[in-house]
A and B are shown apart, each in its own frame.
Chain A
Amino acid sequence: MTRDNLSNVGAEMIRLVDIHKEFDGVTVLDRINLSIAKNEFVTLLGPSGCGKTTMLRIIGGFESATTGDVLFDGERINDIPAYQRKVNTVFQRYALFPHLNVFENIAFGLRIAKKDVKEIRDKVQSALELVEMLGFEKRTIQSLSGGQQQRVAIARAVVNEPKVLLLDEPLAALDLKLRKEMQLELKNMQKQLGITFVFVTHDQEEALTMSDTVVVMKEGIIQQIGSPINVYNEPTNIFVADFIGESIILEGRYLEHCMVEFAGQKFPCVDIDFAPMEQVDVVIRPEDVDIADDPAEGVLQAKVSSVVFKGVHYEMLAETDDGLEWMIHSTTMAPIGQVIGMSIKPDNIHLMKKETKGPEVTAS
């Protein structure tokens, strides 16, 4: 659980200490320990129902942990109500106020804080500018498109200059193109404003694109905390490997220093912290399988069973003699039925401690 490449990140902003949360006796979050730094873009990533929203609501103060502490800027804030926390939220379905127009929605927090009229006008103006919605002041919420509502929701939150912005799947309702645009814009906004973002998504690509740190969760338990590169290249277990990007997961045996055996062959690798003859799980990314037209050029031989063009690359399935199916991403194409040679470079072979259960091959 290391964290690297956090040059732009400052001191600790939020810390969750041993958070445990139950609803009606059912555990939803367990042993959550997480430290979030100032200016960090942290993403909570995990499948539906794993407790991401609950974690965000505990930070926001809408839910209290069954046990454990929430620290904000070094202070314990368990008992501080939501309306006194210096945190603002962009809710999953925006939760804009339908009886107020765009200007009044954004001004809501400032009016509650009893700012004077001129200050409110100026701040709302610059918030609108930030989300590129100038000129929409008088519009009703109902007359806005999904993407525009989303921007208003962001403006309504950031106008209060929170130290931390919580975002619960803010892009989920947008179409692919708009989502990609907003991903970039949000990222830029975060840099520009210099505030901490805690971003929830179940889209692994979104998490990898936007974050400084990704927190991968499953059934209320943190599986891994790391930079996008870190969780992608060095998943700590099969779940993370499978959830982040596509992977081929094989059973293997660590032979000796930097040698591993799987799929009936010996491969040189770079991992060293395993005992001789220890059973391991081997993770290989589909794009790391090198293929050659000449079967003899590869360490393994497999017969291509399907080819799909994906734009930048081809996605192929190839079957080895022992029945294992390999997913391969490659810019070169081999026709169906051809026997190809496959090889894997040592640093593209990632070994993990054996887990009790796990499928032989998982190509998601």
Chain B
Amino acid sequence: MRAILKKCYLWLIFIFLYAPILVLILFSFNVSRSRGNWGGLSLRWYGELFQDRAIMTALGNTVLIALVAAAVSAAVGTVAAVGIYRLKGWKKSFVMNITYLPILNPDIVIGISMMILFIAMSFPRGMASLIVSHITFGLPYGVISVLPKLAQLDPQIFDAALDLGATPREAYFKVILPQILPGVFTGFLLAFTMSVDDFVVSFFVTGNGVANLAISIYSMSRRGINPKINAVLTLLFIAVAAMMYLIQRRLRKSSREAV
């Protein structure tokens, strides 16, 4: 009896969490324009979606920003992680803490403070400011995905490479990098997902009419809910969920390997 109750409880939570999304997905296939009536299944809104110039441009922006921000976050994060790894004592914990801070920092704080910074520096707002701000919150993910990989390394391996004639640079590229690469890729995926996912920061730092998907959905919804939004949100949800699944699987796999 208890077990059954427990199960019901679990299902209740799932329904609570996922019902809105299920409704959204369902209505993205609704023929009728009205939200109340079910007019039958159709891919009509998906078709219209791909004809909508504004949404397609926003999608392109989102992907471009996410790719660049994730690539920079992963690359710079890796270099930073190697630097942190070689620090010792209080310096190490200090740098670690300021790395973690942006992850805990509310988006709104990052968004507004970056906006103020860009204005103060008269940095051109638009694509560039979006990319820079996405790197800012993506970078910590680059660092924290690589650090555990470094910690797992045999500390003698770097010396072994030098011993065999590799310069420190070659040792990093030929010995250290191949072994932390899974962590670098996880960092890339995390930063990419965070970037695709972001609305708040983007909303504050953008300008000149440059919009990513989240911003353009927001402005569309203010003009009244268009069923196209259901379709684009469904796609966005599936994309982010797929990426999270991928990341989870990688993390699980690497924690198994570590044992």
A residues sitting closer than 8 Å to B (CB atoms) are 60-62, 81-84, 87-89, 91-93, 95-99, 108-109, 112-113, 156-157, 160
Taking A62-B162, A82-B162 as known contacts, 15 extra A-B pairs with beta carbons closer than 8 A to each other, sorted by chain A number, are A60-B163, A81-B162, A83-B164, A83-B165, A91-B163, A92-B156, A95-B154, A97-B160, A97-B161, A99-B175, A108-B161, A112-B166, A112-B170, A156-B164, A160-B165
Structural contact, B159 and A91, CB atoms closer than 8 A: yes
Q: Which residues of B contact A98 (CB under 8 A)?
A: 154, 179
Q: Which residues of A contact B159 (CB under 8 A)?
A: 60, 62, 82, 89, 91, 95
**Which of A93, A98, A160 has its CB near the most chain B CB atoms (within 10 A)?**
A98
Q: Which residues of A contact B178 (CB under 8 A)?
A: 99
Is B167 in contact with chain A by the CB < 8 A criterion? yes
Q: How far is the CB of B177 from chain A (nearest CB, A)?
A: 10
Is B242 in contact with chain A by the CB < 8 A criterion? no
Q: How far is the CB of A171 from chain B (nearest CB, A)?
A: 17
Which A residue's beta carbon lies closest to that of B170?
A: A112
Structural contact, A95 and B165, CB atoms closer than 8 A: no
Among B160, B168, B170, B174, the residue within 8 A (CB) of A91 is: B160
Q: Which residues of B contact A61 (CB under 8 A)?
A: 162
Q: Please report the C-alpha to C-alpha distance between residue A84 and residue B164 in the assembled complex, in whole angstroms.
A: 9
Contact flag A99-B179 (CB < 8 Å), given A88-B163, A156-B164: yes
Q: Please report the C-alpha to C-alpha distance between residue A343 and residue B252 in the assembled complex, in whole angstroms.
A: 71
Structural contact, B179 and A112, CB atoms closer than 8 A: no
Contact flag A88-B164 (CB < 8 Å), given A93-B156, A99-B179: yes
Among B160, B165, B174, the residue within 8 A (CB) of A113 is: B165
Structural contact, A93 and B154, CB atoms closer than 8 A: yes
- A-contacting residues, B122-141, CB 8 Å: none
- A-contacting residues, B192-227, CB 8 Å: none
Is B79 in contact with chain A by the CB < 8 A criterion? no
Q: How far is the CB of B175 from chain A (nearest CB, A)?
A: 6
Structural contact, B164 and A160, CB atoms closer than 8 A: yes
Q: What are 23 A-B residue pairs whose CB atoms fall within 8 Å in the complex?
A: A60-B159, A60-B163, A62-B159, A83-B162, A83-B164, A83-B167, A83-B168, A88-B163, A88-B164, A89-B163, A91-B159, A91-B160, A92-B156, A93-B156, A95-B156, A95-B157, A97-B157, A97-B160, A99-B178, A99-B179, A109-B164, A109-B165, A157-B164
Q: How far is the CB of B78 from chain A (nearest CB, A)?
A: 16
Q: How far is the CB of A196 from chain B (nearest CB, A)?
A: 16
Q: How far is the CB of A242 from chain B (nearest CB, A)?
A: 32
